[in-house]
Every structure is written in structure tokens, then in C-alpha cells.
Amino acid sequence: MARLFGTDGVRGLANRDVTAELALRLGTAAAHELGSARHETRRRSRAVVGRDPRASGEFLAAGVTAGLASAGVDVIDLGVLPTPALAHLVTELDCDLGVMISASHNPMPDNGIKFFQRGGLKLDDAVEDRIEAWLDQPWDLPTGAAVGRVRVDNGSAVDKYVQHLIGSVGTTFDYRPLDGLRIAVDAANGAASVVGPEALRAAGADVVVMNASPDGRNINEKAGSTHPEQLQAVVVAAIADFGVAFDGDADRCLAVDHTGALVDGDKILGILAKSLKTKGALPDDTLVVTVMSNLGLLLAMRDEGINTVQTAVGDRYVLEEMRAHGYGIGGEQSGHIILAEHATTGDGVLTALHLAAEVKRSGKKLADLAGSIQRLPQTLVNVRGVDKARVDSDEGLASAVAAAEALLGDTGRVLLRASGTEPMVRVMVEAATQQQADGVADSLAATVRERLAL
């Protein structure tokens, strides 16, 4: 039987894969696994539940809430808010767990359920496995006064989150650090449709807002970080200093400079890491990235005296590395960026604020800041129908990879990754020129087909 939890919670087609029944059972199971922290204080456990604006989120949040309350957990229903807001409020509201109903950047028909433990942290695999095991274990539910109570928040909790965001860039009653900046915001008709523009305005920016009218069906629809084309046009037309694009649950942020050019997560990471180093606030002068970050970022950081540590793909693995060694910043090319001083997960609005603050502090255009990080040409070839299990053990393939790496030298990189869900191997090559990247990738893909044939 396949594992229920994926790389970021439980996700699938709403009402088919992710059902109200599953939400109820997961809520009850999570209460049993995560809701015991209050026992020594003789106070009931407490949880926060939030969602993005998808229509299916309404019944899924109700299901999770019912499961938690039936297991004796008091629930605060936060309504629609970004995933990082929920993670922050787990701690801010002194809760034992949080549950976010969202499928992030996925299309509207999908939805997901992801959990945060005390401290606002995502769960590791072992905890997820224990929750999954509880789904099939009967246990006694409370009755009478011992059942959990449900309270709908009046918006004050989200206000606390906004104050946390703007405070992170030094906003006060008489100081607004983004005064004079004009920023276009694409909210993806998602969870940050109100919070994103509100936070940037509170910090002093003149905000041009787009795709901030969620109706339950239009989340991520040709909008946000997965579809930046509209933002690129609006930034130029509105003569904005730059633009930012969130995804459906606002845990990622991409940017667009004043010319309409895309500034991806790698470049944002490089800009913010350099800024922290300049301020003497970059622990161990280290940036944490994944193996999919472009070599151009690694080379640019080396030139700035900044070390880079690479992890497996996934912001949870980035955070694990950061927490293990006390690093301050890490993230992914997709725009998941973690600023450890202020957040326990990727936060798109937080990223936008700090990027804007660096533009203002430096007195430079975003295009100039991003221009110091040159993206190397990259080619990705998906080789399907092969034995992916042998990708790391086949000697002939290893020899071909070594030869390719020797050919590319310090100006290129090779990465072979087995797909987690298909009989497929991904061949990624970066090189000094697109022609060289294409040639090496095609050659390695042919070797993969030959050596790993089923």
C-alpha cells in the first residue's frame, strides 16, 4: 500500500483522493499523535485550522475540525490565510498543532492537508507515519464536557501575523521602510489576496494589486508564481519598481524586475544572502539550497565569500539542514525561501518584504541586484520507461557521468535523479553554453536508456 503522506502532507484530487471522511480521520489521528502536550498541565490540547480559498477547502476544513474536536482538542478556526501564517500562529497562539488545507500551487480541483507540530514546524516522516498508523487503530473518544470546542477567529489572529511581518523589516508608527517604492502584487487569487497587499502597504509601499479576488474556483488560474506572464506585463505598464507573485497558499514568492524580466528563487536567495552577509547577520556565511539550484547561484555565492550547502529537493529538507546547524537562510529555485529569524517555513509575503527592503536599502534597481547572479544554461531531459532503482549503482552510467563532469569542469554540473512516482530518471545538465548543455544532456540520456533499460 502506498504511503499516504507525500513530500508536503496529503495531497490529491479533492473529493476523490482527499475526501471529507479522510479529513475527519486524519484530524482524529493527528489529535492522538500530536495533541498530548497539554496532559501534564491538565489543560485540553489546542489546534488552529486554516485553508486557502478553494471551494473544497470548506468541507475539508470542517472535516478536520470535526475530527480534532471529537478527540477532545479545542480548535480555533482561522478561515482563509497563508500557510506560513498558520505556522506562525501555532506558536503565537500557544497551540499544540496546526492543520492547513491547501494544495499550494496546484490547480483548483486538487487539495491537501498538511500538519504543523508545536513550534510551527512541519512533521518529519516518522511522525507522519505514526499519524497514518492511527487511522486504522480504534481508541476511546471523549464524551460530555471532555469533547473539544470550536471557536471561529474574528480576524485578530491574522492581524497578529501581519504585525509580525511588517515588524520584521523594522516598520514602526513613524517609520515605513518601503516608502517610495511602487510594487505590483499578483496574489494568485489565493490565500494572500488580502494579507500580501496589506503588509506591503503597511510597510510604506504603493501597491498595484492583481488577481486578488478569490471566488473558490480561480486560485492559481493563469496567475501567481506559476504563471508570471501577466505580472510581467503589469509591472512594465504600471511603471512599477518591481513585482512579486505568490502561489495559492503564499509559501513561495517570485519577482519581476522593472523591465519585466523574471527573478527566480535562486536570485532572490542570492540577493538576500548577500544582504545578510553585509549586515553581519548571515550565520557561518552559509546559504542552504537544494540540488536543483542553478550552478550560477553557487558560483556567485563563492565569489561573495558565501558557502552553499545543498540538500534534497523539498523545503522541509532545507529547513532540517538549517535547524541542524543554525543557518539563517535557505530555499528553493521555485521561491520557497526560509528566513529562520522570522519563520519556520517558506513565506512568500515575508520574502517580498525583505526583498523590497533590500532594494530600498541598497538604492539599486532589482535588475541590478539580480544581475550579479548569472543563471547558467540548463537542460532537463526526462528519460521514461527505465529501471530508476539502478541510477546510482550502474557502473557504466557512473563512468559516463564522470566523463561528462570532467568535460564541463568548474563551469558545469550534472545531476541524475530518479522520479519518486514514475519509472523515470531526470537528467539535468548545466554548462557554459546552451549548446553544450543540450549536447551533454542528450548524450547522458541515451546512456541512461541503454544502461537502465527494463
Kindly list the catalytic residues. Answer: 104
**Strand, helix or coil at 110?**
strand
The rounded distance, in Å, linking the Cα atoms of 360 and 365 is 9
**Residue 234 is which amino acid?**
V
| Residue 96 DSSP symbol | S
Contact 48, 93 (CB under 8 A): yes
Q: Which residue has the cell 518601503?
A: 178
The rounded distance, in Å, linking the Cα atoms of 30 and 21 is 14
The rounded distance, in Å, linking the Cα atoms of 255 and 258 is 10
Grid cell, residue 125, equals 516522516
Measure the CA angle with vertex 389, ends 383 and 391; round to 5°.
Answer: 60
For residue 97, the number of C-alpha atoms closer than 13 Å in the C-beta half-sphere is: 30
Beta partners for 386? 453
The rounded distance, in Å, linking the Cα atoms of 76 and 73 is 10
Main-chain phi, psi angles of 75, to 5 degrees: -120, 135
Q: Which residue has the cell 521561491?
A: 335
**Residue 150 is which amino acid?**
V
Least Cα distance to 105 among 249, 210, 215, 229 occurs for 249
The rounded distance, in Å, linking the Cα atoms of 355 and 266 is 13
Contacts of residue 45, Cβ cutoff 8 Å, sequence gap at least 6: 31, 34, 35, 36, 37, 38, 72, 73, 74, 96, 97
The rounded distance, in Å, linking the Cα atoms of 139 and 275 is 52
Beta partners for 91? none
The rounded distance, in Å, linking the Cα atoms of 56 and 49 is 15
